[in-house]
């Protein structure tokens, strides 16, 4: 009789252990999958920003050929690009301050590029230049890629954050060191519609 109770007790302990082990293993592996999804999405954001950085020297060199072009505008673009390339985009240090710094430097670069493109409107010969038109089209396509990559990154972050914050997964997340990831934020003033006046 004692042996039978011992075997039943051991069987119950083994079943409980298997259930707990299975739950922890499944939850941990799913957290890793979501975390890798965030890392992959981040890598695509970085790739698209790098593509834009690679296009800028060609654009600047094309514009430089026009001797009377405003040098300050070109200098601003080159300086903004240099600042943007100085940001460390390591996925292991993906926190709110890294994303904020990236947004600031990329925002400054976007602003400098916008001023450059507005200034170019005064140069019909430059606008007609085939190299310039090709570069401008590539730059526009890259801006769309960046927007899509940021959206997909935010979607991956949302899926990851929701998963690790739900009970009881939040207990496992804390045990294994899975922390929430930051989102890309909309640009300041993006919630206001622009005024159009004729």
Residue 149 above 60 pLDDT? yes
18 assigned to some structural domain: no
Question: Residue 83 corresponds to which tokens in the numbers above?
Answer: 């600042």
Least-confidence region, from 9-13, 24-28, 191-195? 191-195
As a whole-number percent, the residues of the chain with pLDDT over 90 amount to 33
Tokens of 32: 């890793």
Q: Is residue 68 part of a domain?
A: yes
pLDDT at 56 over 90: no
Between the CA of residue 81 and those of 52, 74, 85, what are the distances in Å? 9, 11, 6
pLDDT tops 50 at residue 112: yes
Domain assignment of residue 197, yes or no: no
Between residues 179 and 122, which one has the greater pLDDT?
179
Q: What is the mean pLDDT of the chain?
A: 82
User: Is the per-residue pLDDT at 110 higher than 50?
Assistant: yes
Peptide bond before 191: cis, by omega within 30 degrees of 0? no
Question: Which pLDDT score is estimated for 157?
Answer: 95
Query: Residue 141: inside a domain, yes or no?
Result: yes
In a domain, 117, yes or no: yes
Highest mean pLDDT among 47-51, 85-89, 118-122: 47-51
CB 62 within 8 A of CB 135: yes
pLDDT classification of 79: cutoffs 50, 70, 90: confident
Which of 58-62, 136-140, 178-182 has the highest average model confidence (pLDDT)? Answer: 178-182
Query: Which range of residues forms the domain containing residue 140?
Result: 43-176
Q: How many domains does the chain have?
A: 1
CA-closest candidate to residue 56, choices 33, 86, 40, 80: 80
Query: Does 196 reside within a domain?
Result: no
pLDDT average, residue stretch 168-181: 92
CATH code, domain with 86: 1.20.1440.20
Q: Would you say residue 159 lies in a domain?
A: yes
Q: Check residue 70 and give its pLDDT.
A: 65
Q: Is the pLDDT of residue 148 over 70?
A: yes
- Residue 1 forms part of a structural domain: no
Rounded-to-integer distance, Cα 8 and Cα 2, Å: 10
Is 58 or 122 the better-scoring residue by pLDDT?
Answer: 58
Predicted structure pTM score: 0.77
The answer to whether residue 68 scores a pLDDT higher than 80 is no
CA atoms within 13 A on the CB side of 77: 23
């Amino acid at each position: 009789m004692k042996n039978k109770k011992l075997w039943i007790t051991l069987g119950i302990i083994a079943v409980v252990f298997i259930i707990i082990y299975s739950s922890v293993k499944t939850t941990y592996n799913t957290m890793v999958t979501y975390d890798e999804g965030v890392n992959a999405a981040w890598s695509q954001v970085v790739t698209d920003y790098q593509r834009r950085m690679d296009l800028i020297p060609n654009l600047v060199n094309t514009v430089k050929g026009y001797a009377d072009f405003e040098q300050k505008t070109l200098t601003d673009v080159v300086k903004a690009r240099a600042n943007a390339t100085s940001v460390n985009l390591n996925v292991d240090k993906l926190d709110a301050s890294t994303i904020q710094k990236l947004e600031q430097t990329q925002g400054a670069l976007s602003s400098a590029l916008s001023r450059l493109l507005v200034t170019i409107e005064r140069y019909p010969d430059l606008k007609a230049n085939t190299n310039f038109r090709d570069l401008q089209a590539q730059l526009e396509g890259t801006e769309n890629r960046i927007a899509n990559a940021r959206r997909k990154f935010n979607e991956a972050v949302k899926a990851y954050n929701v998963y690790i914050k739900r009970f009881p997964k939040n207990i496992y997340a804390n045990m294994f060191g899975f922390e929430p990831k930051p989102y890309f934020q909309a640009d300041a003033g993006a919630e206001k519609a622009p005024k159009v006046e004729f």
